[in-house]
Each structure stands twice: as structure tokens, then as C-alpha cells.
Amino acid sequence: MLRWCSTLSLFLSLLLVAVPAQSEDGDGTLSQLRSDLSQGQLDVLLQRQDIVRLPASTLKPWIQPQPIDRFAITGFNENDHRFAARVRLHFPDGNISFLRLEGTPAKPYTVTDWYDYSSGLRLTALLEERRWLQSEDGKAFLSELGESPDGPSVATLAEGRPAALKLWLTQCLGNPCERIAAAHQLESEQPMIWLLRRAIASGDTDQYRQQHAALLAALGDDAYLWWLEGQYALEYQQCSWLVSPLRDAWRRHQDVLALADVALQCSLSHMPEQTAFGVALTQQLSVDTIMDSVAAFFAAHNRPVPESWHQWALTYSLPILPADQE
């Protein structure tokens, strides 16, 4: 999810105010982007956007602090006229967001478009609705979206306007109104994580394969995309058909402990007594660490650890003696 605490007010300010961008010395575009993200706030990126330019003094009243725990730039390309960056953001509460930024390289660089893979919101698409958003209906839509996002008038006012509907969905992700907003979205060929989550929740394997393939093409074989899928598989009890791909993904990303953990949890959910994946994990983790995760999983489900895991731990914890001491 694009984690803006006051999405409505932010976009209203972006669309109605324009001031010149400020200049500053900087390094290469990639170095500048890393430096901006290292400050731990999303509004630093928004200050670079060139769709409608705003200084920090204008942005500050509209955006509450958005702490970024850590980040990864998972893709970057640049020529003399443009750059594109793929960014993964990790937040302190454990949530993850994927963004695609496009812009113009300079000192400083400017962002000319911003795509949120969580909801499918693109800033330039919303900008195309600028005239409507300043109309009476547009203002009413923004007002209702802020005050009653689950009200019937929101859908009526935004009907037929994909960008406005995406703004509604972005505002509602993770909230009770998400179900209503999702039901009114128009078809789109863009990859979206909320569609992936919906497919996993419903067990719609065809839609899952479609969104999964589109997101892999857009984001690459990102370990944390697989981690998200594992979280959804656990949440919606779909490990029976996702556990094998999760295990395979871990084998390609053995340095990502979070993926190892979610793959193990999914294995335990699907086949609680089977210890084979525990054997594979010993390539990376100690038996004690694996058993801590196993014990935590069963404790969370108010179930005892199966005897097969106790026997496994005992077997794999035994020291291997030299042949002349056996």
C-alpha cells in the first residue's frame, strides 16, 4: 500500500498548487535517490516529483511523517533524457510497498511519474482528472472520500473514472471500505498486488497465475514478493497449492530469512508432521532456530508440536563422530 496518512489532502494539494522546483547540488541520479530514501520519509520523494512541483513548506501541512524502516532499489536504468527505478519499501510495522518511479536525470533529478503496485494508482493518470477534481462533483468526491469512503455517493461520483476509483482504493486498502472500493474497480492490464491477494484469497488459480506472472515481469524475482504471497497463503489458508512454489523461491533466495520462515510456516500449515523442509533449511539455519519457529507456529495454533519434529530435532542435533569413535 502507498502509505500516505492523508491521501486525500495530499492529492488535492498536488493538483491545485504549482510552484517552481528548487535546485541543489547532487551526485548521480541513483546516488541522489539512495540519499533521499535514506532519510526515511516518503515525502522526500514527493518533493522531487515534477507532475506538480511543491516545496517542502507546502507539502508539510498535508503529509504526516511516513517512516521507512529500510529500502531496496531493485531495478534502475538511465539515459541522458530519463530514468526509471523500481523501489521496495519496508515499514516499521512489517508492511511492504513496491513503487516504480520515472523521471528526468539532473542535479537534482525530478520524478515525472509514480506507480504504486499495491493499488495500481499512477500519479499522471490522476493528474488527467485535474479539471474534474476541481469541479463541484470532483470536490464532492474528495470530500466524501475523506469523510465517508464507504458511502454510496463515492461510487456514483467516481463512476467511469479509473484514476478516481484507484484513489478510492488506495485510501481504503487495509480498511473496512476496501471491499466496497475493490468491487467498483474497472479492468486494467497493470499488475496490482491487491488483485494478487484477491486471487489467493478466493483460490482463483487462473487469476493468481496472471497477476503473479505480471508482477514477476514488473518486479523481477523479488524474494519479498514471494514473502507477501506466503503471508496471503497463510492468512487465507491456501498453502496446499502455494507451499511448493514458496519452497522453490526460498531455494533461490536462501539469504532472506523472512522467506525461509514463511515457507516453513506454510509447510507446517499444509503438512504439519512432515519434516523434509526442515532438512533443507539446515543448509541455512541451525536446528535450534528451526525448532524455535516450529514451536512458535504450533503454539500460535494452540497445538502441540508433533512427535515427528521432536524426533527430527533429536536426530539432526546429534554430533557426527569420527569413524574410529562410533
Report the DSSP beta bridge partners of residue 122.
115
DSSP 87-118: EEEE-TTS-EEEEEEEEE-SSS-EEEEEEETT
**Structural contact between residues 275 and 264, judged by C-beta atoms closer than 8 angstroms:** no
DSSP state letter for 69: S
Q: Over the range 88-102, which residues count as b (16 or more CB within 10 Å of their CB) and which as e?
A: bbbbeeeebbbbbbb
Report the pLDDT value the prediction gives residue 51, as an integer from 0 to 100: 65
Residue 44: pLDDT band with limits 50, 70, 90:
confident
For 104-147, the pLDDT digits (tens) are 999 899 999 989 998 888 888 887 887 888 789 988 888 888 78
In Å, how far from its chain's centre is CA 93?
A: 12
Query: Kind of pairing, strands 70-78 and 83-90?
Result: antiparallel
Residue 44: all three cell numbers together: 522526500
For 70-92, the pLDDT digits (tens) are 999 999 999 999 999 999 999 88
In Å, how far from its chain's centre is CA 14?
A: 23
Give the SS3 label for residue 307.
Answer: helix
The domain made up of 7-127 has a fold known as Nuclear Transport Factor 2; Chain: A, (3.10.450)
Report the pLDDT value the prediction gives residue 297, as an integer from 0 to 100: 95
| Burial class for 162, CB neighbours closer than 10 Å (0-12, 13-18, 19+) | buried
Residue spans per domain, the chain: 7-127, 130-183, 236-317
4 vs 92: CA distance, rounded Å? 14
What ranges in 148-238 are assigned the alpha helix state H? 152-158, 162-172, 178-183, 193-202, 205-219, 223-235
DSSP H helix total and E strand total for the chain: 18, 5
274 vs 97: CA distance, rounded Å? 33
Asked if residue 65 has a cis previous peptide bond (ω within 30° of 0), the answer is: no
For 148-197, the pLDDT digits (tens) are 888 889 999 999 999 889 888 888 888 889 989 989 998 878 899 999 99
Distance linking the first and last C-alpha atoms of the chain: 57
Considering the entire predicted model, what is its pTM?
0.83
**Structural contact between residues 163 and 125, judged by C-beta atoms closer than 8 angstroms:** yes
